[in-house]
Amino acid sequence: MTGLLHGVMRSFRARRQGMGSLLMSSALAVGLAGPVFGQQQEDYQDSGMALLRSMRDAARNLDYVGVYTYQQGAVMQSSRIVHIIDGTGERERIESLDGLAREFIRHNETTHRLIPEKKTIIVEQRRGDRFPAFLLGEADQIPQHYAIRIGKYPDRVAGRPCTVLELVPKDVYRYGYRICVDLEHAVLLKAQTLNRRQVINQIAFAMLDVGAKVAPEQLNSNWNTSGWKKQDALLSEVDLASEGWRISFPPGFHPLTQVTRSMSAGKEVDQLVLSDGLAAISIFIESFDPNRDNPFSKEVMHKGAMSIVRKRIGDHWFTALGEVPADTLREIAERTQYVPSSVN
């Protein structure tokens, strides 16, 4: 696997995680025993969407501090989050508690990613859609592709009562979700990704305080970054269609961003992000290097809910990854064509 794939897997996990989209058998037993979904819940689309929008607004507009755990397959990682609204907008700090030390310090859509072992700060423009945010984009078309069911009885997460919602896919292109939304503040407390009834990914608060207990000093980094190297993540907008790429989107998925990223050694990679309002797919296009790459290489990988499909198209590597079924990504890759304009 190339360095690009390792990097994009880390960034995609980070978006869902501390960003960022969990389970022990006991948690599953509690989740299934608590909420009961009656047949009438099939018609609760409007109420469910209203709750989803309230959850999105709570993630953006409330002060809170908490510790949450993300589980993908056999890997578990914990993070601490501090989120404050002040006169300048949103401020947030996310600190990894396991593995390599990392901090993400965000002010509105500008994020400073701290890499202590390299004494480096990467400055990048990033959407505020990390956990406990859940919706991507406007998400108005979610009811067309998911049935929303509301649990008849509340559950509890991190000691807080919460309303259970299930989002059941209406086709084979996406997974389902079971989430629990705080009754008092509408903050997302737990999100599970489901393949039928099996949990394949989850993220949940272990502790959460909302409101006056959050002090601005908690936004300060643990590190003295004086003298650290600061570099901007170099991005530029790109129109892949005008460059000859004919990419077939799965039903309900729409483009969120199209950018070119400058990588090490001057290499450039195009990235397209698609979403249906809940699930996200990232597509990366990079040049084929005959001196380094195996011309017959084709990779399909799985890790928890994450799938990756890689295919050579012309003189390019085409990589699609996301928390969707692998067949969804295979269909994208198989139906994609590269038709560059002719040069006179």
Looking at residue 342, its pLDDT comes to 60
- Give domain status of residue 191, yes or no: yes
Same domain for 265 and 177?
Answer: no
Q: Could you tell me the CATH number of the domain that includes residue 277?
A: 3.30.200.100
Looking at residue 8, its pLDDT comes to 46
Same domain for 186 and 280?
Answer: no
Question: 0.85 cut: is pTM over it?
Answer: no
- Give domain status of residue 67, yes or no: yes
Looking at residue 128, its pLDDT comes to 67
CA dist list (Å): 144 to 49, 139, 191, 322, 332? 12, 10, 21, 20, 21
Looking at residue 34, its pLDDT comes to 46
**Which of 219, 248, 279 is the endpoint of a domain?**
219
DSSP, residue by residue, 139-159 = -TTHHHHEEEEE-SS-EEETT
Same domain for 16 and 139?
Answer: yes
Inter-residue long-range contacts of 154-162, CB under 8 Å, 24+ positions, other chains counted? 154/34, 154/183, 155/30, 155/31, 155/34, 155/35, 155/180, 156/34, 157/189, 157/190, 157/204, 157/205, 158/66, 158/189, 158/204, 158/205, 158/206, 158/207, 158/208, 160/184, 160/189, 160/208, 162/189, 162/190
Looking at residue 28, its pLDDT comes to 30
Token pair for residue 33? 């025993």
- Answer for the pair 77, 98: CB distance below 8 angstroms, yes or no: yes
Looking at residue 33, its pLDDT comes to 39
Task: Pinpoint the alpha helices (H) of the chain.
Answer: 3-17, 25-33, 45-61, 142-145, 326-335
Same domain for 164 and 305?
Answer: no
Which range marks the domain in which residue 188 is found? Answer: 3-219
Q: How many domains, the chain?
A: 2
Looking at residue 298, its pLDDT comes to 55
Mean pLDDT per 10-residue interval, the chain, length 344 residues: 48 43 30 47 76 94 96 89 95 95 94 95 83 87 94 94 96 96 97 91 96 89 94 88 94 93 78 95 88 60 85 92 94 94 57
Coil, strand or helix at 181: strand
Closest CA to 318 of 221, 244, 256: 244
Residues 84 and 19: their CA atoms lie apart, in Å, by: 16
Same domain for 42 and 69?
Answer: yes
**Which of 155, 189, 219 is the endpoint of a domain?**
219
Same domain for 42 and 182?
Answer: yes
Looking at residue 255, its pLDDT comes to 94
**Which of 175, 194, 219 is the endpoint of a domain?**
219
Residues 158 and 194: their CA atoms lie apart, in Å, by: 21
